């Protein structure tokens, strides 16, 4: 390769380098390319190269996968992106897709689910785990959710399962409201102000890392605040009213 050719290819990636950069196999990367999830490569003679735009689109595909989107849904979403969309815009869109608690979606047979749980699971156990949102039914398979280990531990407690499910429903109801409010704040007060300015792809990627860290700290803050409030309620219930305060 001549010095001129090396300069022309600066910043470009081969299919192997692109796959490695996004954490995919070359086979999967090629398959996604055939589906049109990324544009045609840049040709330099017989060699195909890929740039930051290709990489950003594949990273978007990974983010959608992490959220449980089917391949068909991903094709629809990617097909709806503007052809002229920039790398920094792709990065910012992906920032809103960063999972609050990343977990790869994996469908397991009952035997593999029991192996993961470390115990046998009866039909009643499975129904309870579904009700607790610890697992999700998917045809004849099961998909563990972030609360899977908690659900398994709760099954081992000698308390009525109905009370566990009721507590889970209360948590889900209030957390759903909180999640909507926090997501709206993140979008309107963090993402959109940043989006309104001009930024380089590097600045957008740094912002994406900031959003990921902010979400982690937000989850920790929610846990700490719940613990503080619960402790205050317990302490308050133990304080005896003074004489004449009844």
Distance, CA of 163 to CA of 183 (rounded, Å): 30
Burial of 114 (0-12, 13-18, 19+ CB in 10 A): middle
pLDDT tens for each residue of 62-118? 888 877 788 899 999 998 988 888 888 888 888 877 666 556 668 899 999 999 999
Using one digit for the tens of pLDDT, what is the confidence trace for 28-59? 999 999 999 998 999 888 889 999 899 999 99
Report all structural domains of the chain as residue ranges with CATH numbers, in order of start. Answer: 10-84 (1.10.1660.10), 110-238 (no CATH)
Among 53, 78, 94, 58, smallest CA distance to 209 is for 94
Does the pTM of the predicted model rise above 0.75? no
Task: Average the pLDDT over 6-12 and give the result.
Answer: 67
pLDDT tens-digit series, residues 148-157:
998 899 888 8
């Amino acid at each position: 390769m001549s010095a001129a050719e090396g300069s022309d290819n600066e910043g470009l990636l081969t299919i192997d380098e692109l796959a490695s950069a996004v954490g995919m196999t070359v086979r999967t990367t090629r398959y996604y390319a055939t589906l049109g999830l990324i544009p045609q490569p840049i040709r330099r003679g017989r060699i195909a190269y890929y740039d930051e735009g290709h990489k950003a689109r594949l990273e978007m595909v990974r983010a959608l996968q992490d959220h449980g989107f089917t391949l068909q849904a991903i094709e629809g979403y990617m097909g709806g992106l503007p052809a002229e969309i920039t790398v920094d815009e792709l990065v910012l869109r992906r920032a809103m897709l960063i999972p609050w608690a990343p977990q790869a979606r994996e469908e397991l047979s009952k035997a593999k689910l029991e192996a993961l749980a470390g115990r046998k699971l009866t039909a009643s156990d499975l129904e309870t785990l579904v009700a607790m949102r610890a697992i999700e039914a998917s045809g004849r398979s099961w998909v563990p959710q972030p609360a899977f280990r908690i659900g398994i531990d709760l099954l081992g407690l000698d308390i009525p399962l109905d009370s566990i499910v009721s507590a889970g429903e209360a948590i889900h109801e209030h957390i759903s409201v909180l999640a909507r409010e926090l997501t709206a704040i993140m979008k309107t007060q963090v993402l959109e102000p940043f989006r309104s300015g001009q930024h380089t792809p590097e600045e957008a990627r740094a912002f994406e890392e900031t959003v990921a860290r902010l979400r982690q700290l937000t989850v920790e803050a929610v846990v700490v605040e719940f613990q503080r409030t619960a402790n205050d309620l317990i302490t308050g219930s133990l304080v005896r009213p003074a004489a004449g305060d009844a």
